Amino acid sequence: MPATPSPQNFSSSPQNAPLLQMKGIALHFDGNAVLENINLNLNEGEIVTVIGPNGAGKSSLVSLVVGLQNPSAGSITRQAKLRIGYMPQKLTINPQLPLSTQRFLSLCGNNTTLKAAVARLSIECLLKTPVQKLSGGEMQRVLLARALMKNPQLLVLDEPAQGVDVAGQAELYHLLGELRDELGCGVLMVSHDLHIVMAQTDQVLCLNKHVCCHGEPESVSQHPEYLQLFGKKAAADIAIYTHNHDHQHDIHGDVVQPGAAADAHQHCQHDHSSHKH
């Protein structure tokens, strides 16, 4: 197994063996093909976004990657002892279970890693909140903190932006980009559309049972199969977005030092007042 790269040299990692490699994967349910002939490499330090219409098999692909399901055909090779941080599409915890965010996190690691992850994601103010009372955006942060505590080599997120408003989504994707830089981990995420994700994405996989197209965000958004799936309007929106993004790194318009943990209290307020921008 190759030595773990130091956080800063992630960009050189594609030369290493991929964290996970899928070859000729197919998945069938009762004879119906859900996925067909999928080839996919996930590398250290690389963000791969899977997009596609409803029923395209995005979540099935995720469950194959994390090993919740076995493929009907093809092979999946994971790096030995691969540490995966998994964030499901939705986490509904039985309200009968009394569980504070602090206790929830403490189930996954020791106090030191907990404190570090909590500080990194600025969720100190949520620690006493019962997990069932967390809002969509807050829950995503807590789940991300939980994943961080495991020091993952691969982060897998299934529609992480569900139930999060547009500002929160941009912030979340920005955060993911930062975490990728800090940890040097690979990221696989599923998204409904490319609009906000693309600035943080290295590779896009456009899925509709098979891989329609695959490549860097700009090239995918011009690909005929993509245009056919999502329409020209969507592609135009993306073009506008990337243009804007070049000039604006913080969605709130606040000045935030890149990489520096923002003030905790301030951040928690952001979650609730995301429209002031």
Q: For binding to another protein (CB under 8 A), which residues are involved?
A: 66-68, 84, 86, 88, 91, 93-94, 96-100, 103-104, 107-108, 130, 150
Backbone angles phi, psi at 42, to 5 degrees: -115, 125
CB of 127 to another protein, least distance (A): 13
CB of 89 to another protein, least distance (A): 10
- Which is nearer to another protein, 34 or 238 (by Cβ)? 34
Q: Give me the residues paired with residue 47 across strands.
A: 187
CB of 276 to another protein, least distance (A): 33
Task: Return the closest-CA partner of residue 92 out of 133, 39, 144, 137.
Answer: 133
CB of 174 to another protein, least distance (A): 24
Distance (Å, rounded) from C-alpha 136 to C-alpha 271?
10
- Beta carbons within 10 angstroms of residue 176's beta carbon: 20
Q: Taking the CA atoms of 182, 111, 158 and 275 in sequence, report the sign of the dihedral they define.
A: negative
CB of 159 to another protein, least distance (A): 14
- Which is nearer to another protein, 94 or 111 (by Cβ)? 94
- Which is nearer to another protein, 10 or 86 (by Cβ)? 86
Q: How many CA atoms lie within 13 A of 145 on its CB side?
A: 31
Task: Return the closest-CA partner of residue 221 out of 47, 49, 42.
Answer: 49
- Which is nearer to another protein, 97 or 240 (by Cβ)? 97
Copy the structure tokens of residue 234: 């969507």
CB of 50 to another protein, least distance (A): 17
What would the DSSP string read from start to end of 30-92?
Answer: TTEEEEEEEEEEE-TT-EEEEE--TTSSHHHHHHHHTTSS--SEEEEEE-TT--EEEE-S---
- Which is nearer to another protein, 1 or 3 (by Cβ)? 1
Task: Return the closest-CA partner of residue 143 out of 135, 66, 26, 125.
Answer: 135
- Which is nearer to another protein, 94 or 257 (by Cβ)? 94
